[in-house]
Structures are given as structure tokens and as C-alpha cells.
Structure 1
Amino acid sequence: MTKLRGLAWDHVRCWGPLDASTEPYRAMHPDLEIEWDRRSLYEFGEGALGPALEAYDLIVFDHPFIGEIASGELMVPFDPFMTDDLKRHFQQDSTGASWRSYARDGRQWALPIDAACQVASYRPDLLTRYGSVPTSHEDVIDLGRRARRDGKWLGLPLVPTDAMCLLLTLGNPQEHGDEFISQDDADRAITQLRDIAALSHPGSATWNPIRCYDHMVANEDVVYVPFAFGYVNYSSKSAPYLRFADVPTQNSAGALLGGAGIGVSARTKHRQAAIDYALYLCSAEYQRGGYVKAGGQPGSLAAWQDDGVNASTRDFFGATLKSIQSSYLRPTHPGFMAFFRECAPRVASAIAGETSVHELSEWLNRRYRESRLEADLQRSVA
């Protein structure tokens, strides 16, 4: 009997379809046992990979870790296990840059099992009195002012991690430019975020998207959120539920890409079995079937475009497809995650008005250049 151990992050969007897959997959592979454990959302996005890779065969992780994974060859590349036709299928079935986000140094280190980006959300029963869904920053501020006159609020997840994600969405980052985010772009983005934050629920500073959405469905005081990573689960639930929409920016471009990949630890003793199971989980057939039914948010474009999938989720996928298809893929070089962690509290401080944009911009661009130099040095040594 072969036993595979996997590590998910602790939300039904991730573990729901993984747990649901074990019995049907074992029915096809009776000599296989599968066990999934869970870790926190923070550990998923910012925790260390090393200990997990020692203990598990399969790991669901955040794509910016790809730089570290590739440089240390911490996971098994999928390329030798896929035909050219299968590679083309995944490339064509990618939601936005999801497939590309798990590639580095000419190899594919993971498969896109889940796709997400920053989108807008709202309580349809509350928004109806204010008109249509905002499509510009001016619309958002107008809605926020009218909502405040009624004692209601906008919402904006502003814990440091999400504050940094907001800056990446609105700051026009240039991965290979002289400046990662110019002072003019930083000033514009931080000004917009301060405008929104001033009209947002006082709890926003302690919210990530999940806390924000939990508040929205449990209370009647947050009408609309312009930017936060989407969660299909809040669209699928019974009333009160949320509806989702494209972000209120020109052409919906720039919404930060999120989602999750599934990779196989280089230390696994069951390489082929783990690869085969990952391919099953990411197949278009499972992604638009059992994966969605169990609360998952698939990485497959076919699932996002499926009429049945959208009918069962109040058009979550169709309503946000424009945003994710034009979403922004953040850098994935080794060291970017360290840069992100260091920058996040400084961005939150700038949005709160405690740090000047000039101070933030100077530090951010200097630290980003250092992260690139460190990555180049690491590559030259290797």
C-alpha cells in the first residue's frame, strides 16, 4: 500500500475538493492511500516551505515561492511526466497567467490547481438602492459617500499582506524597470487607497479577505469592496450572499494574480503516484465537476467558462473573468517573498498616513533592487 501525504491551506476553497477527491481516486487506485493535512492561510502565503517539503509528498502553495523552489530544486518538475499535447492543454486551459506563474528556468514546477485575483464584491440586497456596480475610482468614492450618509460603509482588507497586494494592483509595478514602482505611481495608488480607506469600515485594518467577507454576510453595514481576492464560497452560499464583479479600474487590468499551485516534493518516495494524482486534481474534467461541487475555485479556464459552473455559483467566474484574464503576475525571482514580507507593513503604514509616500517609495525601490541583485548573484554562483 502506497500512502501519499498532502498539505493544504485551511479553507474549504482549498481542502474541500482535495478531501472530496480521495475516495473516487482511491476507487481507481485501490493500492493507494491519501491523507491531507492543513495549515493556516498566513503559512500558505508567507510561511517556510522547507519543513513542509520534508514531511509531505504534495503541497498546495502560493506561486511567488517558485523562485526559491526552482533555485533549490525543491520540487519535482512536471515536464518529464507530461506529453507535448498535455503541456499544450494546460497552457491553453490556463486562467490568466496561472500556468506561467509556476514555471521558471525552463521547467514547470507545479500545476495551477486554483486561480484567483483581486476582484470587487458586494451585497446585492444592499447595493440595489445605490444603483449599478462601480466601474471607476470616482464611482467607488461616490458610492462610499452615499453609503456613509446611511450609516453604511465600503470595505477594504488592510492587514499588511493585503495592503501590499493592493499596492501591486494599483501601483503599476515594473519588474525590470529602473524603479519597481515609481514615486508618481506610488503617490497615485496610496492616495486612492487612502480615499477608499477613509470611507471603509473601521474593522478594515484587521481584515484579510476572509474576515471581510465573513463580516459582510453576518452584518448589514458593508455595501461594497473594490479590491480583495475573490472567494467563490461566498457567492455559492444561501442568503445573505455576495456577488462578485471586475475591479473598478480601466479595462480591469492590473488586478493582482493569486491562486494556488500543487507541487510534488523532491523528497517524496512516491514520485510517479504523486504526479499522477496532481494531474488528476488539475484535469479539466475534475476541475469543472467534483472540484467546484466541493467548494473549490478551479485553475482551469474551461471550468471558469462552464455554464453549469457559473449557474451554480451565481456567475462568480463569468463576472470576474475579465479581471483574471488581464491580471498582474508579480515577480517570482528568489528573494521576492522576503522583499514582500518586509514591504507589507510599510505599505500598511503609508495607507494609514503614518509613513510618507516619499519614504515608502525610496525604501521600496532600493530594497527591490537589492532583491534582484541577490537573485542574480545566486544564479551566477549556481
Structure 2
Amino acid sequence: MSADHLTVNINVLGVGQRPAAWRSDDISPDAVVDFGHWQAVAREAERGLVDAVFLADRPAITDPRSRPVQYLDPSILVPAMAAVTDHLGFIATASTTLNEPAELARRLGSIHHASGRRFGWNAVTTWDVEAVRNHGIDELPPREQRYARAESFVAEVLAHWGDDRPAVVQAGGSGPGVQLAGQFADAVYSVAQEPDASAKHRQAVRDVAAASGRPADAVRVLPGLAIVIGSTEQEARDRFDHWEHLAPATYSLAELGKALGADLLDVDVDASVPPHVVDTARQGGAGWSDAYRRTLLDRIERGNPAVRELLRDFGGYGQRFIAGTPEQIVDSMEVWFRAGAADGFNVMLDLFPSGLTDFVDHVVPELQRRGLYRTEYAEETLRERLARP
């Protein structure tokens, strides 16, 4: 891919990022466990010439009553989606804490070749207590221990693969995460909300890559970007509000609390975030992950927003969020890209398939018009596609 072109991955969160997306008239109730749904998404993503679909995975079953997300294992989904596409890449999550290197190398290597060498491994250390217990581990190991294992784990997997290997993707937000990404990753996913913070993170990853004997620009940094598309900004905001109001009443508040490591269900949403919540969030180990927690704390400390305002900002559930026209969305993507804050984006869409169709039909052509996006696929493997010239 040209250095002047964005990398764009689509994060396929079941039937959409909005928690009530499953209530859409054009979404089947069993879509998350229907190969037909996932294959239709893959075809549409390939029509939009995106680099890859990103499959987050949590090796624990969640309660579907609040939100059906994803229940089929990526090792099943990727071959099914690859079978109906020719160029689209696939990135799937697997834990370095809950697997063994030799076995995982074989399993993911098999998926890589079965998909026509279009596969990437999202290597995570796992912060999810339920997932850890699902593997017979009573307590989540400390972050330092998990990342120390991850470094040796990834190195061993790469040694098994040799040169003809899947791409490696990582979410390097904390200090240990940046080290892991800089040493091994082809792309790194981030949760930065501001371009300056993202540029600093990108430079930190590059510094580690250079110190590890790799080219400084060997890692493409892809901030998360949650979007809702409308023909006008008001239409996009109305669409967001419609689907947000159909979600369980306390869903967003509960998710914000989980991200901060605190219970928010009794707080006054028209007041500032309570000091005890901020104090809890400042403690190491609180919340979803260090990167998510620090990003939210920066937002709270920068503007002291009311909880209701923070919830609106939290519309991407931890990702930077834009509700607007295709032109507004591309304006923002271009600013970040030109400023060196991002090499591309991991895009979250509100509903599948309609949100993806809108992205392909309206955002992609605007990116192409500005010379920021491919007009055809060129590289054969996902790793080649992520590599900078």
C-alpha cells in the first residue's frame, strides 16, 4: 500500500456497535450465529476495498439479553468469510495468556493458509476475568506477568511460522503494550481520542521498533473510530439517538462504569463525574484496560464534563466517535492522517449491514476522491498490505 493511502479495517461487532442494533428490521434475530450474515458482511467489505475485517473475540459467553455480540469462534468464521471473497483480509483475536505457543501457531497458521494468506493475528494478553476463569484460572495474572509472557509467546509463535507468516496486530496502549507492539506488530490498534495523543503514541511505537532493529515505520498505527453516517449532521445524530434510546436504559452508563472500574448506576448524570470515581479510575488495574481508562481520565480532567455529556462522547464505547456526513467523517480522517496521528483507522459501524453499505457507498468514494484510498486491491497477503514501502 502507498504511504499516501490510509489503512482501513472494519471492526465487525456482531450486528453493529449500537447495543440495540439487533432490533433493526433488516437484521435476522439469529444473525450472530448465521454464516450467511458474516459472509454478506465480508462481501460488502470487499466491495468497499477495505484492508481487513477485524474480529474481536472474548472466550467467554456473555448474557445475550442486553446485547448479542459474537458467539462463533473466529477460527470458524474466517474460513467461511474467506470462501466468499478473494482479497479481503481477516484479523482475529487470540490470547497469549490463555493459549500455548506451539498449538496456537499451528491453529492460526492453518487459518492463514486456508484463507489464501490473508490472515492476521490480534495478539492480546486478556484483561477479562470471566474469560480467564473460563480457562480454569482463578485470578487474572498481574499486567507485568501477562506482558512478560506475551513477549516470549509471540517470539515463539513467529519462530514457528518463519517468513511466510500471518500479520501480527496488537493493541499497545500501556507501556508494556507499546514495547510488545514495537518489537513484533505489523499494525497496532489504539484508543486515542485526540490527534496529539495519537501522534505521541505512534512515535513511541516507532521508537521501540527502531530500538528493536526494525524500520521505525514498520508498524501502522490504527486508532479506533466509531461512526454514524447521515446525509446531514442532524440526520446522523438523530440516527445515533434513535438506536441509543432503544438500548437497555442503563447500558451505556454500565459500560462507562466498567471502563472506569466503578459503579455509576446511582450517579447524577447531570453532575460531574464524582471524585471517588475519578480516584478509583486512577488506581492501576481498574477498568477495561490501562489505555481505555487513561483516555477517559484525560477527557474528564480536560473538560470536567457532566456524566451525560461524557456518555455522549462515549458513544463509541471507548473509541473516538463521530456522527456526521461522509464529508465530515473524511475531513477528520484526513486531518489525523496528514498530521501523523494515524496511518489508518479501525472503523466501528453502528449497524450491519446498513452502516457498512453507507460506508462503502459514501465514505469510500470521498476518500478515493481525495487520493487517500485505493481504487483496487494490489497486494496478495495481508502482511504485504500492511507493510509500508
TM-score (norm 1): 0.29
Q: Decide which structure has greater helix share.
A: 1
Q: Which has the larger radius of gyration?
A: 1
Q: Relative contact order (alpha carbons < 8 A, sep ≥ 6): 1 or 2 greater?
A: 1
